[in-house]
Amino acid sequence: MLAGRTLLKNLKNKEKFVITCPLLEGLDGRKMSKTYNNTVNITDEPFEMFGKIMSMGDELIIKYFRLCTDLSVAEIDQIDRDIKNGANPRDAKMRLAAEIITLYHDAKAAEAAHEQFVNVFKNKGIPDEIPEFKLNGDRNIIDLIELCKLVDSRAEAKRAVLQGGVKINDDKITDPQATVHLERDMIVQVGKRRFAKII
């Protein structure tokens, strides 16, 4: 960075200004990358955002508060002290998720995502509102989850199946060649947060 400033001054007689900032790691502590599937995208739906933030490592909570929210330094320091004094990190993550969702959606969406998360994970239910798709016949599992827009690519779909992350009506599918006979009200699930309903 310093070399760049010197070169630009010498070659073009211009000032180069450098701004540095801390690196925001992905949810698993590695570099944030779509390849690692450890990102929270600003275009994610509220429920997806909430679930992703709840899955992050506890050691990242305060850093995300500092870099991704508008909370004051004093508030964040208090949350940090509370965690160190034995408060459940889960509660801090829920606050963090609400703050981030409010920034990119709104407070109402944050509240709905929180309620949905509690329903799905604490009460082992499915979201009240999930996308519906009018499909019938027999479909290959990869084709099905791609048609239901539960993945971004066929490669991601195959990876999800092989890793045991795909369920049909709560039955796990692990064979990417599997054929699914579609029935009305069938629930298709990828991972913990993505659902679709066949109508």
Out of 119-123, 134-138, 140-144, 175-179, which region has the weakest mean confidence (pLDDT)? 119-123
Q: Which of 143, 141, 137 is nearest to 166 (CA)?
A: 141
Top CATH class of 46-122 equals mainly alpha
Handedness of CA 38, 41, 46, 50 (dihedral sign): positive
Helix 46-54, helix 107-117: angle, nearest 10: 60
Query: What is the pLDDT, as a whole number, of residue 121?
Result: 74
Q: How far is CA 88 from CA 27, 36, 54, 70, in A?
A: 18, 27, 12, 22
**pTM to 2 decimals?**
0.64
Task: Give tens-digit pLDDT for 52-74.
Answer: 999 999 999 999 999 999 999 99
Beta carbons within 8 Å of 148's beta carbon, 6+ residues apart:
131, 133, 135, 188, 196
Top CATH class of 132-198 equals alpha beta
Task: Give tens-digit pLDDT for 14-37.
Answer: 999 988 889 999 999 999 988 888
Residue 122 has pLDDT above 70, yes or no: no
Categorize the per-residue pLDDT at 124 as very low, low, confident or very high, splitting at 50, 70 and 90. low
Query: What is the pLDDT, as a whole number, of residue 193?
Result: 79
Beta carbons within 8 Å of 96's beta carbon, 6+ residues apart:
53, 61, 64, 65, 68, 69
Query: What is the pLDDT, as a whole number, of residue 79?
Result: 96
- Segments making up each domain of the chain, as ranges: 46-122, 132-198
